[in-house]
A and B are shown apart, each in its own frame.
Chain A
């Protein structure tokens, strides 16, 4: 879900950068010291996850992991994702420097939304918790796709066409992310319950 350099118009880039800066600043404020190592590990995980490819028919897409980042970091997902994206842009030329803001919003905003809406459900555990974790992985990618389509729409492309293309290409990823989120959360619930949202405070 990295938008390349030279695709989006100026206003979209600028508003993306503003939103990303605001989110990152707020996230940093919310980032307690004892959460920093966790943010770093998850940021590194996110950084590498974009290299992992899942073949989908003729095309392929990579895991994003933004749902898990959101669940485990809350608002701190913004700085974690921003750092990982900066490094991806510099080292791999994924996305680009000018699109950094937009790309951060694309991946971090759904993470925060999932945390705010599903965090408590996931923390409770049980079948509902597992369903919540799945929904978190699924909808974080879904929302990312919607934001990509919106960004393209404000530039020039037809919204429904762009949304259909992006979501169609990522439908398998959504399901895989959902399953992966459930596995991660259930694993943590057994091993490190303190890391789960709600219980961590």
Chain B
């Protein structure tokens, strides 16, 4: 019996810090698509978890299910902040909010907040129709502005691609496993409470004795 208990203890200590039940959803933008990844703390992916996408007022916009890898992606339904809610059944749930700024930025529009700070972008955009008109008259100039615009698009595409593994890593880092310090701290709190109860008990006892 003792051996069994000892081996169980070892098993628990080994398995201890690795897993627990909590569910996380993480979302990021690429172009006009929102990618989400859902996993239980400990690294198990949420399979067939229900995903609901709401706008800020709580109206349901999109509904879907995570695949075998816990992933789900959707095109931005409309330009509004999106609240992505995961229901992993049995009372496990989590939400992630994608702000309007993030969506605008990812889709190549000026973020609402940044619009006031960066009016310089506006003239650049206004120039574009003019570019097509002046194609014949000033080809050299057109080439320059056109390439500038193209470069920007190409850069964004390349960056999206290059940043993908880094976004992945961030998704993985996002998961917060219980730390050993937290576990020991929690046990400490419990024993501290017992100590507090003992202190209060003995204070009362001593008072009773003094009165007698």
A36 to B191, CA, bound (A): 10
Contact indicator A7/B93 (Cβ below 8 Å): yes
Contact indicator A47/B22 (Cβ below 8 Å): no
User: Of the candidates B21, B23, B182, which one forms a contact with A62 in the assembled complex, judged by CB atoms under 8 Å apart?
Assistant: B21
Is A127 located at the chain interface by the 8 A CB criterion? Answer: no
Please tell me the size bucket of the interface on B: 35 or more
Chain A hits for B19, CB < 8 A:
51-53, 60, 62
A40 to B95, CA, bound (A): 34
Chain A hits for B23, CB < 8 A:
4
Contact indicator A152/B91 (Cβ below 8 Å): yes
Contact indicator A183/B1 (Cβ below 8 Å): yes
Chain A hits for B47, CB < 8 A:
58
User: Of the candidates B15, B22, B93, B191, which one forms a contact with A93 in the assembled complex, judged by CB atoms under 8 Å apart?
Assistant: B22
User: Of the candidates B17, B44, B189, which one forms a contact with A51 in the assembled complex, judged by CB atoms under 8 Å apart?
Assistant: B17
Given A7-B93, A50-B21, A169-B90, are A91 and B191 neighbors across the interface (CB < 8 Å)? no
Chain B hits for A60, CB < 8 A:
19, 40, 42, 44
Q: Give, as a whole number of angstroms, the nearest-CB distance from A95 to chain B.
A: 8
Chain A hits for B20, CB < 8 A:
50-51, 53, 62, 92, 94
Contact indicator B91/A183 (Cβ below 8 Å): no
Please tell me the size bucket of the interface on A: 35 or more
Contact indicator A44/B21 (Cβ below 8 Å): no
A157 to B142, CA, bound (A): 61
Contact indicator A44/B91 (Cβ below 8 Å): no
Contact indicator A4/B186 (Cβ below 8 Å): no
Given A187-B1, A190-B1, are A44 and B90 neighbors across the interface (CB < 8 Å)? no
Contact indicator B90/A165 (Cβ below 8 Å): yes
Chain A hits for B5, CB < 8 A:
183, 187
Contact indicator A2/B21 (Cβ below 8 Å): yes
Q: Give, as a whole number of angstroms, the nearest-CB distance from A19 to chain B.
A: 17
Q: Give, as a whole number of angstroms, the nearest-CB distance from A111 to chain B.
A: 17
Chain A hits for B182, CB < 8 A:
91-92
Is B146 located at the chain interface by the 8 A CB criterion? Answer: no
Q: Give, as a whole number of angstroms, the nearest-CB distance from A82 to chain B.
A: 11
Is B4 located at the chain interface by the 8 A CB criterion? Answer: yes
Can you list 9 contacts pairing A with B, beta carbon distance less than 8 Å?
A33-B201, A44-B190, A47-B186, A51-B178, A59-B44, A61-B21, A84-B190, A93-B176, A165-B89
Which residues of B are interface residues toward A (Cβ below 8 A)?
1-2, 4-5, 8, 12, 15-23, 40, 42, 44, 47, 85, 87, 89-95, 176, 178, 182-183, 185-187, 189-191, 193-194, 197-198, 201
A-B residue pairs, 5 tightest by C-beta: A3-B91, A40-B194, A53-B19, A87-B186, A91-B182
Which residues of A are interface residues toward B (Cβ below 8 A)?
1-8, 33, 36-37, 39-40, 43-44, 47-48, 50-53, 58-62, 83-84, 87-88, 91-94, 148, 151-152, 162, 165-166, 169, 180, 183, 186-187, 190
